[in-house]
Amino acid sequence: MVELAQDRALPRARSSARDWLLPYLLSLPSLLVTIGILIPFGTAVYYSMERYNLAFPAGRQFIWFGNYISLFGDPGFWNTLQVSLLYTLLCVGIQLLLGLGIALLLVRRTWFNDVMSVLLILPLMVAPAIASLMWKLMTNPSFGILSYLLTLVGVERFPWASSPDTALFTVVLVDTWVYTPFITILLLAGLRALPKQPFEAAELDGVPQSFVFFRITLPMLMPYILTAGLFRMLEAIQQFDIIYAMTQGGPGDTLMVFQIQAYLSAFTYTNIGRSAAVLMVLWAITFLLSNLVIKRWLKLRERRHGNA
């Protein structure tokens, strides 16, 4: 009897140990990813508090918030902040409007709309740096196809990215061409996932389309809009490849966004401490903006569940 009880207890002990160990095994990949993120993040925080210049390794020392004080006292930093926020606002705003408009045109399931939905993905398959080089060739004043088309309507030698007055317009145009399909696909999926009962009831009652859009479609689609806007905001405020490939932050400091300034500080001026401080400020801004959007999204979800 004792041996029989021991034989029954052994599988139970193994099952209990497996049940206890399983959650830790399932969370192990996320733990490894978190560690992989925190190590470089902690290193960047430490470097941002050092006077660390690769050209003068002997002068490396811990200076606490000296890099941040120097950064906030530099007019160039405030220009970088202004340019980064303006670039983000223009890109996200224009792309949300265009993406929503295109998604509304493609919401009905027809063979033409399905083909166009597939073709929309093509710009996303081109690397942003390659897309920037393509646009740089197309906007060349001497042989670019876009410059030639402008001459047909009377606009001679449009400066595109070579002038401080039009450089921001040019890079926003390239960014819009690359990333608008991403927002369109998200919003199109959201539109097709909306329940049909409210729209059928509005159609039976003869409700105007403008009322349906602003009072039914837009509020129900808002979580998808916030999600798409959040993804694009995080990408736009950290933009590097499009701007660097088109203008390298110029002309002058016209397009000197955070990532360009951090790159130049580290690899041109070898000032690792200042570069890390710029990236930490960028992280703080990104953290605050994303939290605002996420809190708004959570409020919408709570209101939606409350109404349900």
108/94 Cα distance (integer angstroms): 23
221/191 Cα distance (integer angstroms): 7
| Residue 88 neighbours by CB under 8 Å, 6+ apart | 233, 236, 237
The whole-number pLDDT of residue 68 equals 93
The whole-number pLDDT of residue 176 equals 94
The whole-number pLDDT of residue 2 equals 46
The whole-number pLDDT of residue 8 equals 54
Q: Does the CA dihedral 49-252-138-86 come out positive or negative?
A: positive
Residue 62: strand pairing partners: 50
Helices (H), the chain: 2-48, 66-72, 75-105, 111-119, 128-138, 145-152, 167-193, 197-205, 209-212, 218-237, 241-246, 258-267, 272-307
The whole-number pLDDT of residue 17 equals 64
Query: CATH says 75-307 is which class?
Result: mainly alpha
Task: Pick the closest to residue 235 from 101, 84, 134, 126 (CA basis).
Answer: 84
The whole-number pLDDT of residue 4 equals 44
213/185 Cα distance (integer angstroms): 19
The whole-number pLDDT of residue 288 equals 93
Distances (CA, A) of 43 to 36, 46, 159, 272, 276: 11, 5, 42, 11, 9
Domain regions of the chain by residue span: 1-36, 75-307
257/249 Cα distance (integer angstroms): 7
308/306 Cα distance (integer angstroms): 5
Angle at 214 between CA 229 and CA 106, to 5 degrees: 65
Beta strand 61-62 with 50-51 is antiparallel
The whole-number pLDDT of residue 107 equals 87
- Averaged over successive runs of 10 residues, the pLDDT of the chain (308 residues) comes to 50 65 82 89 92 85 90 92 94 94 89 85 86 90 86 85 90 94 91 86 82 86 91 92 89 90 91 93 93 86 65
